[in-house]
């Protein structure tokens, strides 16, 4: 006897496979296409479309949508538009012609719509079967269709905006808010952005006031967004005198300085101690008696690129054996990236995100971020970082700053509402930031390669020291990238003065910053600092670098200083 609970369990099985074994999920969904419970249900077709998007198999994505439109299966207008818009996007990439799309639409309207009465037979469609408060329920058709109607309008909005039919886009959003009573704050935001496109500040102000008067859902982040919007619109509609502008500019600069100093303090003291706040005293690199806990030998040639290693944590093995297996997983991924097998590397690191050896480990997410950065796939990169922030994985200060800076640089390339990004940070601060105790005991970054066949798994103390050094460097580089060279110089000098992390790279960064400022007199002082207050681990390489730098500064200043002059 057909049972909706059975159908829910089949649906859930597919969703779980998507996370762990994408290829198996695809096979499973293909089987569901002909299963009696899904014979009149569009759900497995939709999941296949999403899976082929993940695997970047656009030809198969096109074929499965074609198959759906010819299947005679009914779906409501929201999902019809969803499938059709996917085809239109594929048409832009020449996977299907506009004429083919028109033909498929006609077939759907002639055959599939007539089968509406079959849609919930022999069981309700999968979209209506959900788990709520631990109980599997079937949402009523009326409630489901009402919600679907709202989603349909959202899809229409997206399509109109993509096609640059802005007048229709604005009219539809106003209809959704004023006539239909839809009150998501994102609709109000979209309207504001649309009106700003035409400098229609009167209508933008009208929408802002509707939001502020409580006609929309609200969050702390959305409140801040609309308040900033209001300030800008009012400044345009009611411009101030030159005197008022000057006063405001002075006030703004003062506030900016205060905010910047506060942000610096937050970066340098990311997590306060529970009791008395104390500054961590890291031993110098040379003072570590034991830098590693395990030494692992392996042969890179033994890795078979045709078959990725499939290991999961095994409690029956001892610690070293489990670490050897984790090392193989790490080295296989590195081999893929070295061989420029980008698609394989992406699939592999997505697999590692759900692998038990990498539970509570940021490593696979960071590798994906690096790959997406190189391929300029900015939107997918943001999705990857969002998944990390929602995974409840703890990030130490270096990783937190590193991922935060990646987001900032991506936002320079793509148009994304920053309020959404702020929500990720808020979620992380409430979840992942509190999970330091759950952090993976043997993070992938503790595996340090020293030659072609030897890996050291370093101690917590040495790892934390290295990560703190990288964090300090990354913070300085952030200041440099936004053009605040003076702040970067102050930051690097503080590191040098405190003598815990004064590697010669920080001296170099000061020189680079001063070169950007064309301040060669101060750069000469920075080079002198290298010789009079030397860094940790001075080497021939660092000496050569500063000697060349001195020659360049002498040329710029028309001077003739020698290294001996600076030392004396």
Token pair of 293 as six digits: 């806990």
Segment 476-492 mean pLDDT: 90
How confident is the model over 154-213, as pLDDT tens digits? 989 988 988 889 999 999 999 999 999 999 999 999 999 999 888 899 999 999 999 999
Q: 523-553: per-residue pLDDT in tens?
A: 999 999 999 999 988 889 999 999 999 999 9
| Gap between the Cα atoms of 272 and 297, Å rounded | 40
Q: What distance in Å separates the CA atoms of residue 166 and residue 169, rounded to the nearest whole number?
A: 5
Residue pair 437/506 in contact (Cβ under 8 Å)? The answer is: no
b/e code 408-421 from CB counts within 10 Å (16+ = b): eebeeeeeebebeb
Mean pLDDT in residue range 3-28: 92
Q: Which helix (H) or strand (E) holds 457?
A: strand 454-458
pLDDT digits (tens, 9 = 90+) for 186-201: 999 999 999 988 889 9
Please give the angle made by the CA atoms of 19, 20 and 26, to the nearest 5 degrees: 80
Position 369 scores a pLDDT of 96
Q: Model's pTM, two decimal places?
A: 0.52
pLDDT digits over 121-145, tens only? Answer: 999 999 999 998 889 999 999 999 9
- Give tens-digit pLDDT for 433-448: 899 999 999 999 999 9
Backbone φ and ψ for 383, nearest 5 degrees, come out as: -60, -40
Q: What's 182-238 look like in SS3?
A: CCCHHHHHHHHHHHHHCCCHHHHHHHHHHHHHHHCCCCHHHHHHHHHHHHHHHHHHC
Indicate whether 49 pLDDT > 80: yes
Residue reference for tokens 């110089």: 489
* Average pLDDT for 353-370: 96
Q: How far from 417 is each of 13, 187, 308, 373, 496, CA to CA, in Å?
A: 34, 13, 38, 20, 39
Which residue from 137, 136, 191, 147 is spatially nearest to 166, judged by alpha carbons? 191
Structure confidence at residue 276 as a pLDDT band (50, 70, 90): very low
Going by pLDDT thresholds of 50, 70 and 90, the confidence category of residue 483 is confident
Distances in Å between the Cα of 313 and the Cα atoms of 292, 309, 395, 458 are: 22, 13, 22, 20
Residue 288: the pLDDT is 55
Q: Are 172 and 157 in contact (CB under 8 A)?
A: yes
Distance CA 338, CA 452 (A): 14
Band the pLDDT of 264: cuts 50, 70, 90: low
């Amino acid at each position: 006897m057909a049972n909706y609970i059975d159908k829910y369990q089949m649906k859930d099985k597919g969703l779980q496979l998507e996370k762990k074994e994408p290829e198996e999920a695809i096979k499973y969904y293909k089987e569901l296409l002909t299963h009696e419970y899904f014979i009149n249900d569009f759900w497995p077709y939709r999941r296949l479309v999403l899976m082929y998007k993940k695997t970047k198999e656009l030809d198969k994505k096109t074929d499965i949508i074609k198959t759906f439109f010819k299947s005679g299966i009914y779906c409501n207008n929201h999902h019809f538009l969803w499938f059709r818009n996917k085809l239109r996007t594929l048409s832009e990439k020449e996977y299907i012609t506009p004429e083919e799309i028109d033909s498929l639409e006609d077939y759907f309207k002639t055959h599939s719509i007539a089968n509406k009465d079959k849609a919930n037979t022999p069981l309700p469609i999968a979209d209506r079967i959900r788990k709520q408060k631990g109980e599997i329920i079937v949402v009523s058709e009326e409630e489901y269709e009402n919600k679907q109607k709202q989603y349909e309008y959202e899809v229409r909005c997206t399509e109109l905006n993509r096609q640059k039919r802005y007048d229709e886009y604005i009219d539809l959003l106003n209809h959704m808010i004023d006539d239909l009573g839809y009150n998501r704050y994102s609709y109000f935001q979209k309207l504001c952005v649309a009106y700003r496109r035409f400098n229609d500040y009167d209508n933008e102000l009208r929408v802002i006031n509707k939001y502020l008067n409580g006609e929309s859902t609200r969050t702390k982040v959305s409140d801040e967004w609309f308040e900033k919007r209001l300030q800008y619109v009012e400044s345009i509609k009611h411009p101030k005198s030159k005197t008022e502008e000057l006063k405001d500019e002075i006030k703004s600069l003062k506030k900016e300085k205060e905010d910047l100093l506060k942000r610096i303090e937050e970066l340098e003291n990311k997590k306060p101690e529970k009791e008395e706040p104390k500054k961590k005293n890291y031993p110098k690199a040379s003072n570590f008696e034991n830098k590693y806990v395990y030494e692992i030998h392996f042969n890179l040639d033994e890795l078979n690129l045709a078959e990725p290693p499939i290991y999961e944590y095994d409690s029956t093995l001892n610690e070293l054996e489990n670490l050897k297996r984790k090392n193989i997983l790490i080295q296989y991924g590195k081999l893929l990236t070295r061989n420029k097998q980008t698609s394989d590397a992406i699939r592999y690191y997505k697999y590692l995100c759900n692998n038990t050896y990498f539970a509570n480990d940021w490593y696979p997410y960071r590798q994906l971020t690096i790959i997406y950065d190189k391929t300029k796939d900015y939107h997918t990169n943001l999705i990857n970082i969002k998944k990390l922030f929602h995974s409840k994985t703890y990030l130490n200060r270096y990783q937190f700053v590193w991922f935060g800076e990646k987001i900032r640089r991506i936002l320079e390339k793509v148009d994304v509402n920053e309020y959404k990004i702020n929500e990720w940070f808020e979620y992380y601060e409430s979840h992942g930031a509190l999970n330091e105790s759950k952090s993976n005991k043997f993070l992938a970054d503790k595996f340090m390669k020293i030659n072609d066949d030897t890996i050291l798994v370093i101690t917590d103390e040495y790892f934390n020291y290295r990560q703190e050094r990288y964090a300090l460097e990354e913070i300085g580089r952030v200041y440099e990238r936004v053009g605040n060279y003076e702040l970067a110089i102050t930051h690097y000098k503080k590191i040098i003065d405190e003598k815990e992390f004064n590697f010669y790279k920080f001296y170099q960064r000061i020189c680079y910053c001063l070169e950007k400022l064309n301040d060669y007199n101060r750069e000469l002082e920075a080079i002198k600092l290298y010789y009079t207050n030397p860094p940790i681990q001075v080497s021939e390489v660092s000496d050569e670098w500063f000697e060349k730098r001195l020659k360049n500064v002498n040329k710029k200043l028309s001077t003739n200083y020698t290294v001996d002059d600076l030392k004396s």
